[in-house]
Amino acid sequence: MGDVAEDKASFYANAEDYWREVPPTVDGMLGGYGSISNVDINGSKAFLKKFLGEGDGRTGTGCALDCGAGIGRITKRLLLPLFRTVDLVDVTKEFLDKARSYLGEDGKRVGNYFCCGLQEFVPEAGRYDVIWIQWVIGHLTDDHLVEFLRRCQRALRPNGLVVIKDNVAYEGVVPDDVDSSVCRDLDIVRRLVGRAGLRVVHEEQQQNFPKEIYQVHILALR
């Protein structure tokens, strides 16, 4: 990302400060676009179901990891209905505290709540069938994203998947000083995935989002 995150310490600290002030609600998690939650979840579910099941090359449904989980919106609506156990990781303790009540009865199937930035998080080797990374890669520097994806690869079970779902810029890298993040174009994301030793096995654009927001793409990696 060039010199966008030249001062890594402040890049991460400023993001933590920003999210600490965000209300622990679905609308807060989605930057005021709470109305897109259903469309988002339905698109993700249709994408994920292409891989899940039994048989040669299919991805298991034992355990998933929700990265940048916030209050657990994706865990509740997407992952817990499809997986026996889900772990959550987020840097904001208040969000994880809220997740415990937000998830309700299904929260009993949550294995772990990890309060940690992804740049430092080390997922357990061989634990996960799916690692879901949504709207959070922009909070990692290029090098930290590559290193995190390498750790994710080691954390997968046989035929496991890493899924990135995120905004993509039209060209280059676009910084956002408000929440201390960046938005990369698709070619840059693909290049970083390749540097991590992963390959894109399937890719789609999320449909029916408001036209004023960045395009959102979903990439399945192995």
Known binding-site positions for S-adenosyl-L-methionine = 68, 73, 90-92, 118-119, 134
Please give the order of strands across the beta sheet that includes 200-205.
110-115, 85-90, 63-67, 128-134, 156-168, 215-221, 200-205
Residue ranges at the known binding site: 68, 73, 90-92, 118-119, 134
Using a 10 angstrom Cβ sphere, with 0-12 exposed, 13-18 middle and 19 or more buried, the burial of residue 139 is buried
Q: What's the CA gap between 32 and 54, in Å, rounded?
A: 38
Q: What is the separation, in whole angstroms, between the first and last Cα of the chain? A: 23
Q: Tell me the residue type at 41.
A: I
Using a 10 angstrom Cβ sphere, with 0-12 exposed, 13-18 middle and 19 or more buried, the burial of residue 87 is buried
Q: What's the CA gap between 110 and 5, in Å, rounded?
A: 34
Residue at token pair 């890594």: 8
State whether residue 222 is helix, strand or coil.
Answer: coil
H or E stretch covering 87: strand 85-90
- Cβ–Cβ under 8 Å, residues 109 and 141: no
